[in-house]
Amino acid sequence: MTTATVARIDRTTRSLPEAEAAAAAVRAGDEAAFGALVERYRRELHVHCYRMLGSFDEAEDMVQEAFLRAWRFRDSFAGGPHFRAWLYRIATNTCMDAHRRRSRRVTTVDTFADLPWIQPYPDRLLDEVAPPEHEPDHVVVARETIELAFIAALQLLPPRQRAVLIARDVLGWPAAEVAAALELSLPSVNSALQRARGTLAERLPGHRLDWATTELSEDERDVLAAFIDAHERCDAEASAALLRDDTRITMPPEPMVFEGRELIAGALKTALGPERTGDWRLVPTRANRLPAAASYHRAWGDDTFRAFKLDVIRVVDGGIAEITTFGWSRFPGLGLPEVLAD
């Protein structure tokens, strides 16, 4: 296959003859053609695996495993314009197999502390999923399908229900296509979807449909700016004033949970008050379509602000309802440095 043909495949196989030619090349063992075909779906498959498992890092492993399986079983691709659906089927089954191996079923999720494996997904990488507008499979990752609360609720579902709900309600596949992909009967798909929707209806807030955007609200932008300003000024009182009475902080993978403004205000006095161990600089960012702040700490006697933590913030009615804190190891995915200049 020529370089020009591979380049065309790398963007899209728009016509049936091109798709058939690409499929034939893959089945014949053309690794360049295969690599060009699968690479354009890497990010969206990664997001898919993330929804299935809740872990950014595990999702990367699953995508790589799915690509290996796809290459190993490339003869099973029947051809035609359905290469993307074939990859999704392989990736879904790869995640379901991993879930069974880990025996990680949860029956209740009261806080993110119940999901020690959950990790944030940087918005800058979510934006890679949407190809140019002229692409036939244009995709936008809406907040309602990636927000941390939605990802946590998905973890309550058995793997099959999770796969069905994602395929039907997130990817928008017809029930018959889902049945074929997961090797289920049509009644089984409909039953699994009904049960999954029922579970999510009980777990997700009623305002979830308000999330159907990729942009932050004015409230969210204002609260994030005030959060950063108060922390950089080491103003514990101003920081506490941003909290709702029922604010909750979790720190996966640690099991710690802090609930209530009064308790959290005390912790803020320790971190920001006269007895603090240094100064802070915060960088605004976004994860899971939520406002977030990356904190850098400069200890007394040091001349460098060093990566410290990531706070993903949920805002309700102009106040902070929840902060999910992750370690600085998430900074590279956000495109952030490990140190800041003074």
**Rounded-to-10 torsion of CA 27, 32, 37, 39:** 140
**Cα–Cα distance measured from residue 136 to residue 83, given in angstroms and rounded to the nearest whole number:** 13
The DSSP letter of residue 326 is: E
**Cα–Cα distance measured from residue 226 to residue 110, given in angstroms and rounded to the nearest whole number:** 28
Neighbour tally for 214: CB within 10 Å: 16
* pLDDT at 130 (0 to 100): 67
* pLDDT at 14 (0 to 100): 43
Residue 108 falls in which region: left (phi positive, over 0), alpha (psi -120 to 50) or beta: beta
**Cα–Cα distance measured from residue 337 to residue 296, given in angstroms and rounded to the nearest whole number:** 10
Cα–Cα separations (whole angstroms), residue 319 to 74, 146, 150, 222 = 52, 21, 20, 10
Domains of the chain: 41-211 (1.20.140.160), 218-340 (3.10.450.50)
Please give the model's pTM, rounded to 2 decimal places.
0.89
* pLDDT at 39 (0 to 100): 86
- Give the ranges where the chain is alpha helix by DSSP (H): 3-11, 16-27, 31-39, 42-53, 56-72, 83-102, 123-126, 148-154, 159-165, 175-182, 186-203, 218-232, 236-241, 261-272
* pLDDT at 133 (0 to 100): 52
3-class secondary structure, 227: helix
- φ/ψ (deg, to 5) at 297: -120, 135
Mean pLDDT by 10 residues, the chain (342 residues): 34 52 72 82 95 96 95 79 85 92 77 93 91 53 91 93 95 92 94 95 76 82 98 97 96 94 94 94 97 97 96 96 97 96 72
Cα–Cα separations (whole angstroms), residue 277 to 249, 256, 298, 299, 323 = 21, 21, 8, 6, 22
The full length of the chain comes to: 342
- In tens, the pLDDT along 204-221 reads 877 666 666 678 999 999
